[in-house]
Chains A and B, each alone.
Chain A
Amino acid sequence: MPLSDFWFILIAVLFIGFIFLEGFDFGVGMSTKFLARNDLEKRVVINTIGPVWDANEVWLITAGGAMFAAFPHWYATVFSGYYLPFVVLLLAFIIRGVAFEFRNKVDSVAWVKTWDWAIFFGSLLPPFIFGVFFTSLIQGLPIDADMNMYAGFTDFVNIYTLIGGITFVLLSYLHGLLFIGLKTVGSLRERANRAARKVYGLTGVFIVLFIGLTYLDTDAFVDKSALLIPMYGVAILLYVLLFFFLRNKREGLSFTMTGLIFMIITASFFITLFPNVMISTMDPAFNMSIAEAASGDYSLKIMTIVACTMVPIVLAYTIWSYYVFRKRLTGDKEHLEY
C-alpha cells in the first residue's frame, strides 16, 4: 500500500474518532438546554465531559494537521473552499470552549445564562456543519483545474446536505444523551434515557433519508456499493438493536450502538471518496486523487514513523483517562470542577 493511502486511512480514522468522541460532547452540550432542570443538573451534565472534551477536540486538530502535512492540496482546497462554514465552525468552537471554563466564574444569572446559550449553540452548530461538510464533499464541489474550489451557497446548502447536517445533529444528541445516561445517577439518568427513547425515532427517519439521498444524489453506490450496502445494512441493523437496548435499559450497549452507527456513517464518506480526496462537479478530470494531493514520499515516511510511535501512546493514556473518570457523577458539588 502506498504511504499516501495509509495516510488517507489514518486521516479517516482521526475524523471517525473525532466524530465518535466529540459527538457525545456535542450531544451533552445540547442537553444542557433541554435536559437539565436546574443549575446543579446543568453543572453535572457539563462535568460529565469536563475531563475529556478538550482532548476529544484534539482529534480534529490532529486530523487537520495530518491533512496539511500529508495532503497539502487537500488541506488547501478544503479549508479555503469552505471558508465561511469554517469561520462559523471556529466561532462555535471558541464560544463553547470558553463557556465551560467561564460559566461558573461569576455569580450572576445573566452571566450563567449567556454561557449556557454559548454551550448550546457551540454544541449544535459543529455537528451540523460537519454533516453538511461530509455530505457536500461526496456530492462533489466546483473545483477548477488549479484545485481551487469556488463553491456557492447551494453547493453547501441543499436538501442532501441539510439532511446530512440534521442527521449529524440528531446522532450527536442521541449519543450525548446516552453518554449522560452512563455517567449520571437518579432522575437525571432516567430523564436522559427517556429523552433518548424519544429522539430515537426521528433519528432513524433521518438516517434512512440520509442513506436514500446518498443513493440518489451522489455517485457513492456506482462503484462502492459492494462496501456501502453491507455497511449501511449493518448501521440499520445496529439501529434496530438499539431499540431493544433502549427498552431494556442496557445503557452501555445503547451508547455503543449510536457510536458505531456514527462511525460507520463517517467512514462511508471516506470510502465513497476513495481513491479521490475531492470530487469536482466541473469536470471529472479535475477530481483530486489521493496521489495528486499527497506530500512527497520522504515526508510521509517521516510522519509514518512518528505516527506509528505516538498513536499507541496517545491511545494508551486516552483510555487511561477515561478509566480514571469511569465513575458516575452524583451531583456532589465537591467533584464538580466546571
Chain B
Amino acid sequence: MEEVLLARIQFASTTLFHFIFVPLSIGLALIIAIMQTMYLVKKDDIYLKMTKFWSVFFLINFAIGVVTGIIQEFQFGMNWSAYSRFVGDIFGAPLAVEALLAFFLESTFIGIWIFGWGKIPKWLHLASIWLVSFGTIMSAFWILAANSFMQNPEGYVLQNGRAEMNDIMAVLMNEKLWVAFPHTIFGSFATGAFFVIGVSAWYLIKKRKVEFFKKSLAISLVIGMLSGLGIAFTGHSQAQYLMHAQPMKMAAAEGLWEDSGDPAAWTLIANIDVENRDTTGRIDIPFMLSYLTYSEFKGKVEGMNVLEKKMIDKYGEGDYLPPVKTTFWSFRIMVVTGGTLLGLGALGLFLMWRKKIMQSVWFLRLLIVGIFLPFIGNSFGWIMSEMGRQPWVVNGLMKTADGISPNVSAGQILFSLISFSTIYTILGIIMVVLFVKYIQRGPEEQRPAEVSITDPFETGGGEHAVK
C-alpha cells in the first residue's frame, strides 16, 4: 500500500524536522533562564548581554519549532484517522493536557518575555523565562506520555472497538515514560548546551570577546557535562526497560537472530544480512550487553527468531520484524554521539579547571563540531525508538498499516508531502543562514551603549525602518 508508505515518510520527515528545533528550544530556554538569573543575582551587565545574545538563536529556533509543531497535532487525524479513532480516548488526552498545561504557558510567557523588557518588574520578567523553560519541559512530558502508550500500552481497556483509558495513574506511571522523559530532557539540555559551547569555542579560537564567551562556555560546559551523564544513566534504564517490555526492539538493535550467549556481549559493529537472518563480522565488547540490560555481568538476551515465534503464537501469522539494519545502526550512532558528548563535556571542564582551554585550540575546534552531535543523536534515537516499534503503531494492539486514513488518497499525501518538504527545506536553509549571520555578528554589534534598554532583534531591520 503506497498510502501507508507515503504517510509514514511524511510523519517521519515532519517529526524529525520538528525535533531539530524542539530540543534546542528546551536546552536554550534553560540556559537563558540561568544566564538571566545570574544577571539578577550578580548584577553584572555581561550576563544581561549573554541573555540577549543567546536569545536571538533561541527565538528564531522557537518560532520554527512552534509552526512545525502545529502539523504534528493535525496529522494524526489527517493521515492516521483509523489510529486516531482507536487511541484517541487514551492518546488524545495527554495531547489536550499538553496544550492546556504547556502550550498556553510557553506561548503567553514567551510573548511577555520578548516584549516585556522594562515593562514589568525584573523578577517577574525573569520568572517569565523560567515559566517558558518549565513549559517546554512539561510539553515534552505530555507528548512522551502519549508516545509511551504507543511503545508500552498501559492503563487501558479494549472496549467499543478501541483502547479506552481506565487508569490515569497507569498512563502517567508508565515505565517507558519515566525512562524516555529524562533521557529526552537530558538530550535536549545537551543540545542547547553544545550549541552554546560550540559557538563560544569559535569565538575563543578567534580570541574575540574572550570574557563573554569564556563565561558562556563555563555555564554551558557544566550543563553539557551533567546532561551527558544524565543521557548515559537514563540510556541505561532505557535498555533495561526495552529488555522486558519491547525485547524485539532490543534484539533488532543488537542484530541478534539467535539468543545471545550468557554473559552477553555488546556489538560495536557488524554486518547484518536480513535475507539470510545472519549477522557476521561482529566486533564485540564482552559483558557489556548484559550490563546494559540487567546491570550485572551475566544474563542473556533473546534473539529475533525466538521472539518472532512467540509473536506468531500470540498474534497469528505475520511479519513481526522491525527494520533490523536501521534499528541496529541508529542505536550505534546514538550511543556513539552520546558518549562523545560526555567525553567532550568532561574534557572541556577539565581544561577549564586547569586554565588550559584557551591554548587547546585543537579541542576548541572539536567543540565546534560538537554542535552537530546532539542533533544526530536525537534523530537517530527517535529513529531507533520508532522504527524498532514496527510493525506496530501501538505495540501489540494495532499495526501501523491498519492505522491509516482510508479516505485519503496517495495523491493527496504526495501533495502534502511535497508541500511540507519544500517549505521545511526552505525553513531549514533560512535557519542556518540566520544562525551563521548572528553568530558572525556577535554580541558586540548590539550597540553597547543602549544594550540595557533595547533588544537584540532590533539590529535586524531597525536601522532602515524609516526611509
Which A positions have Cβ atoms within 8 angstroms of B?
38-40, 43, 47, 50-52, 54-55, 57-58, 61-62, 64-73, 75-81, 83-84, 86-87, 90-91, 93-95, 97-98, 100-107, 112, 146-150, 295-296, 298-299, 302-303, 306-307, 310-311, 314, 317-318, 321, 324-325, 333-338
Q: How far is the CA of A105 from the CA of B467 in the complex (A)?
A: 17
19 A-B pairs with C-beta separation under 8 A: A58-B104, A62-B103, A68-B95, A77-B81, A87-B416, A91-B423, A94-B68, A98-B63, A98-B427, A100-B63, A104-B461, A106-B434, A106-B461, A107-B464, A147-B85, A317-B105, A325-B119, A335-B115, A338-B457
B163-171, B187-195, B214-222 - the one binding chain A: B163-171
Taking A79-B75, A148-B81 as known contacts, 15 extra A-B pairs with beta carbons closer than 8 A to each other, sorted by chain A number, are A39-B464, A39-B467, A43-B461, A58-B99, A65-B73, A69-B88, A72-B87, A94-B70, A94-B71, A98-B430, A298-B164, A298-B166, A333-B462, A334-B454, A336-B462
Cβ contact within 8 Å between B407 and A150? yes
Q: How far is the CB of A278 from chain B (nearest CB, A)?
A: 13
Which of B97, B159, B423, B430 is the one whose CB lies under 8 Å from A306? B97
> Chain B residues with Cβ under 8 A from A40's Cβ?
465-466
CB pair A58 B423 closer than 8 Å: no
- Per a CB cutoff under 8 Å, which of A75, A306, A318 touches B108? A318
For B455, the chain A residues whose CB sits under 8 A away are: 337
Which B residues between 80 and 122 are near A, CB-CB below 8 angstroms?
Answer: 81-82, 84-93, 95-101, 103-105, 107-112, 114-116, 119-120
Indicate if B286 sits at the interface (CB-CB under 8 A). Answer: no
Q: Which residue of the partner chain A has the closest CB to B164?
A: A296
> Are A314 and B89 neighbours in the complex by a CB distance under 8 Å?
no
Interface string of B119-143 (1 = CB under 8 A from A): 1100000000000000000000000
CB-CB under 8 A from A106, the residues of chain B are 434, 437, 460-461
What's the nearest-Cβ distance from chain A to residue B165, in Å? 4
Is B261 on the interface with A (CB-CB < 8 A)? no
CB distance from A173 to the nearest CB of B (A): 23
| B 446-462 to A, binary, CB cutoff 8 A, 1 in contact else 0 | 00000001110110111
Contact: A61 with B70, CB < 8 Å? yes
Known: A54-B66, A302-B93. A76 touches B434 (CB 8 A): no
Contact B84 A76 (CB under 8 A): yes
Q: Which residues of A contact B66 (CB under 8 A)?
A: 54, 97
Complex formed: what's the CA distance from A70 to B89 in Å? 7
**Closest residue of B by beta carbon distance from A106:** B460
Which one of B68, B85, B457, B464 lies within 8 Å of A337 (CB-CB)?
B457
Give min CB distance, A174 to chain B, whole Å: 24
When chains A and B are docked, how far (Å) is the Cα of A311 from the Cα of B109?
A: 16
The residues of B that contact A102 with a CB separation of less than 8 Å are 60, 63, 430, 434
Mark B399-416 against chain A: 1 for CB-CB distance below 8 A, else 0: 000000111100010011
Chain B: residues with CB nearer than 8 A to chain A? 59-60, 63-64, 66-68, 70-71, 73-79, 81-82, 84-93, 95-101, 103-105, 107-112, 114-116, 119-120, 159-160, 162, 164-166, 168, 405-408, 412, 415-416, 419-420, 423, 427, 430, 434, 437, 453-455, 457-458, 460-467
Among B71, B97, B162, B462, point to the contact of A303 (Cβ < 8 A). B97
Cα–Cα, bound, A260→B368 (Å)? 54
> In the complex, how many angstroms separate the beta carbon of B39 from the nearest chain A beta carbon?
19
Given contacts A72-B89, A76-B88, A93-B70, contact A337 B99 (CB under 8 A): no
Contacts of B108 in A (CB 8 A): 55, 314, 317-318, 321
Given contacts A39-B466, A54-B66, A65-B92, contact A149 B407 (CB under 8 A): yes
Q: How far is the CA of A335 from the CA of B115 in the complex (A)?
A: 8
Decide: B462 and A62 in contact? CB cutoff 8 A.
no
Which chain A positions have C-beta within 8 A of B105?
Answer: 314, 317
Most chain A CB within 10 A, of B92, B107, B420, B437, is at B92
**CB distance A295 to B77 under 8 Å?**
no
The contact of A295 among B59, B88, B408, B427, by CB within 8 Å, is B88
- Are A75 and B96 in contact, CB atoms less than 8 angstroms apart? no
CA distance A91 to B463 in the complex (A): 31
- Given A97-B67, A314-B100, A107 and B95 touching (CB < 8 A)? no
Is A104 a contact partner of B100 (Cβ separation < 8 A)? no
Asked if A296 and B89 make an inter-chain contact with CB atoms under 8 angstroms apart, the answer reads yes
Q: Which residues on the B side are within 8 Å of A72 (C-beta)?
A: 84-89, 92, 162
Closest 6 CB pairs of A and B: A72-B88, A79-B77, A104-B461, A69-B92, A68-B92, A51-B111
Q: Is the CB of B453 within 8 A of A75?
A: no
CA distance A106 to B437 in the complex (A): 9
| A93 CB contacts on chain B under 8 angstroms | 67, 70
- Is there contact, CB below 8 Å, between A295 and B100? no
Residues of B within 8 A of A335 (CB): 115
| Shortest CB distance B329–A (Å) | 32
Q: Which residue of A lies closest to B467 (CB)?
A: A38
**A144 (CB) vs chain B CBs: closest residue:** B407
> Please, how many angstroms separate the alpha-carbon atoms of A306 and B85 in the complex?
22
Q: Which residue of A lies closest to B111 (CB)?
A: A51
A120 to chain B, nearest CB (A): 17
In the bound complex, CA of A68 to CA of B165 (Å): 14
- Knowing A69-B95, A336-B462, the reply to whether A80 touches B60 (Cβ < 8 A) is no
Once bound together, how far apart are the Cα atoms of A101 and B61, in whole Å?
Answer: 10
Chain B min CB distance to A223 (Å): 29
Q: Which residues on the B side are within 8 Å of A62 (C-beta)?
A: 96, 99-100, 103-104
Contacts of A150 in B (CB 8 A): 407
- Interchain nearest-CB distance for A333 vs B (Å): 5
Residue of B nearest to A62 (CB): B99
Residues of A within 8 A of B462 (CB): 104, 333, 336
Give the chain B neighbours of A95 by CB distance below 8 A: 423
A147 contacts across to B, CB distance below 8 A: 85
User: A299 to B166, alpha carbons, bound, how many Å?
Assistant: 7
A68-B460 in contact (CB<8A): no
Enumerate chain B residues within 8 angstroms of A69, measured Cβ to Cβ: 88-89, 92-93, 95-97
